[in-house]
Chain A
Amino acid sequence: MSEAAHEARFAPGARVKVRRMAPPGHLRTPWYIRGQTGEIERLCGAFANPEELAYNRPGTPRQPLYRVRFRQRELWPDYRGPAADTIEIEIYQHWLEPAP
């Protein structure tokens, strides 16, 4: 069965900001990354939305999932490592908006 997927909006290299949302339920966007700005490292594909799967709903149309790269010094005010240190995490498209 071929299920529909939302269209992928972001290309690798695009700067994106993680939405600051806090609904109840099962979320896979960690608290520490919300409101932060990073860049798309790659599109991983489109997957059923785990927020919906958590309630035994199909989670379709599938959501594009990206790996997004962030600079550690921008995430943590007290980060003591070098400026080049990064973190990459997978974020679903509906949590991302374009960043300036």
Chain B
Amino acid sequence: MTTHEHHDHDHGHGHHHPTRADHDDRLTHWQAMEIAVRELLIGKGIVTADEVRAAVEAMDARSPAQGARVVARAWTDPAYKARLMADGTAAVQELGIEMAATKLIVVENRPGLHNLVVCTLCSCYPRMLLGLPPDWYKSRAYRSRAVREPRAVLGEFGTSLPDHVEVRVHDSTADMRYLVLPERPPGTEGWSEDRLAAIVSRDSMIGVTRPVA
């Protein structure tokens, strides 16, 4: 499977990645397994082809735009932000986002605190808010090093924090999912929620970067 690099992937949300066409060369063992498993399940009446299609579309509809809306709302509405910090799951539900089987904890960046999220054991990620995670979040390098040398990892993403700022890493080991609430950057006074949401990138909600106006 080929990959291509997005060197400057800290763009805002808005577009999500188009589906890459399946290979038109021979099927791999695993692609054949996917087709076979799906056809067996459909044949046994366990799922329907429409349900599979709908589930694919539902995930396609998820992108960092959802998370950015939550952040922009928190930046402009202090009462919403208080509810978000007290019960993340309930607060995002107000905006129509369902967390399904997991619970959301929002961790807030402040002048003396920067948060970073990782799942060292697999790839737990707040999919309902950010869509599917990027490859690097699931990589050996990120999962191994984010807990041990977070400042070096942040540096690789272009984020440098002075020593008086605490770096707090969250390892998503169980039923909680984490969203970083970045600090609202200076120079955004009076901006609308939409304009604010546009500067909140996926990477800033994972915690590897910070938004700029």
Contacts and interface: CB of A to CB of B under 8 A. Distances in A.
B174 A87 contact: no
Contacts of A45: 103, 175
B170 interface: yes
Contacts of A11: none
A32 B147 contact: yes
Contacts, number: 72
B166 A87 contact: no
Nearest to A33: B171
A90 B166 contact: no
Dominant secondary structure at the B interface = mixed
Contact of B175 (A44, A87, A88): A44
Contacts of A50: 174
B167 A81 contact: yes
Given A28-B121, A45-B103, A76-B148, A89 B167 contact: no
Chain B contact-residue range equals: 20 to 34
B175 to A, nearest CB: 5
Contacts of A1: none
Interface in B130-176: 147-151, 163-164, 166-176
Contacts of B103: 44-45
A82 interface: yes
A65 interface: yes
A90 B151 contact: no
B122 to A, nearest CB: 9
8 contacts: A28-B174, A30-B120, A47-B175, A50-B174, A65-B175, A79-B149, A87-B169, A89-B171
Given A29-B173, A86-B166, A86-B169, 18 more contacts: A28-B121, A30-B173, A44-B103, A44-B105, A45-B103, A45-B175, A65-B174, A76-B148, A79-B149, A80-B149, A81-B150, A81-B163, A85-B150, A85-B168, A87-B170, A87-B171, A90-B173, A91-B174
